[in-house]
Amino acid sequence: MDESTKDQSAFASPDSMASLDFAKMALESANVGIWVMDAESRNFTPSDRTKELFGFASHEEMSFDDAVSRIAEKPRQAFLSIVDNAFKLRTSFYAECPVVIPPDRKTEWLSVTGGFNTSDKTNNYFSGIIVNITEQKQNDLRRSKFIGIVSHELKTPLTALKAYVQMLNTWAKKQKDNFSLGALSKVDRQVKKMLNMINSLLNLSSAEAGKIHLNKQAFSVNDLIHQVIEETMFVTSSHNITIDECPDVNIIADRDKIEQVIVNLLSNAAKYSGKDEPIEVACTIENNAITISISDKGMGISQEDIEKLFLPNYRAETKEIEKIAGFGIGLYLCSEIITQHNGRIWVESALGQGSTFSFSLPL
């Protein structure tokens, strides 16, 4: 077998060689790496380009563990859980990870896509592609730095505005001026909405720079959920939010950040479901962890979109979603916050039937 066909042997039967030659040519010109792995034996076959992307020479052996050892230490475990989960459930996955390339320890960003090869009878082969996305990541970082600066500037006058609204509110109450009280309550609602948006943008820029700081304290999950529901009903009065009785436990976590996660999930449930449709919040304790779930009866999400939902700026590409305003950063932030707490966030959904977003935190 000559060198140029060596890479393909793991992927092809002889009669499919011609089309594979074609596919290989296209992938090489696009600088895309390919790989195959036997899910049973974990035998890993990378293409030359895949080796190169992980900083190995084409003549060197590179096992799956060798490749993983080049992923930066912090996100390595998260990457392995994504792959293990896809192996277990036989689903496809998409992950973006920084790899550290010797000898000068330069960081490059790779996107890794994988899925089961359903045409293979043994149904054991997992294969996928790898692309270098460093340039795109650097642009994202520059953009989020800019967003961080602008949001910070916008927050200062808005915080002052909020304080003045509160002062005027107290004054109007004393004067029993109902017209002003009504108008101020509307102003307050809009200021709160805008502050929520600005806080999300600020957190996005910290998350992308890997700088989410947690300020942990003990608090009651039950109290937090009730407070968030009350405030969400104030801003989003169109939905009926109900709560299954939540066990009264304290957890040690960053209260403001967990609040932000619940606010995001609740406002998405309202945003992506019809007016007056019910939203349910449930809370369970199992295996020394608390799980909070938020269910809606809205438009639901396709399997293909579910895999990418927690990536920054990702929005499902449907006609319905296009009509609804959003930046696609809320779920990314939720996932960053929950991962920082050593928790887990996931979604179960079916198109047209609704979605349940859940997250669990260790007790």
Site of interaction with ligand ADP (CB under 6 A): 264, 268-269, 272, 296, 298-299, 301, 309, 314-316, 321, 326-332, 355
- Closer to ligand ADP at the Cβ: 50 or 268? 268
Whole-angstrom CA distances from 61 to 67, 71, 183 are: 10, 17, 70
Distance between CA atoms of 259 and 199, rounded to whole angstroms?
Answer: 12
Min dist CB 127 to ligand ADP, Å, is 27
Least Cβ distance, residue 336 to ligand ADP (angstroms): 11
Task: Please say which residue, 37 or 281, places its beta carbon nearer to ligand ADP.
Answer: 281
Question: Up-side HSE of residue 135: CA atoms within 13 Å toward CB?
Answer: 2
CB-closest chain residue to ligand ADP: 326
Strand segments (E) across 62-214 = 93-101, 106-116, 125-132
Query: From the CB of 269, what's the least distance to ligand ADP, in Å?
Result: 5
User: In the bound complex, what is the minimum distance in angstroms from residue 199's beta carbon to ligand ADP?
Assistant: 14
Query: What DSSP string describes 111-133?
Result: EEEEEE-TTSTT--EEEEEEEE-
In the complex, the smallest distance separating the C-beta of residue 36 from ligand ADP, rounded to whole angstroms, is 31
Alpha carbons 281 and 356: distance in angstroms, whole number: 9
**Which is nearer to ligand ADP, 80 or 212 (by Cβ)?**
212
- Between 178 and 242, name the residue whose CB sits nearer to ligand ADP: 242
36 contacts: CB under 8 Å, gap ≥ 6 = 10, 11, 44, 45, 117, 125, 126, 127
Whichever of 66 and 231 has its CB closer to ligand ADP, that residue is 231
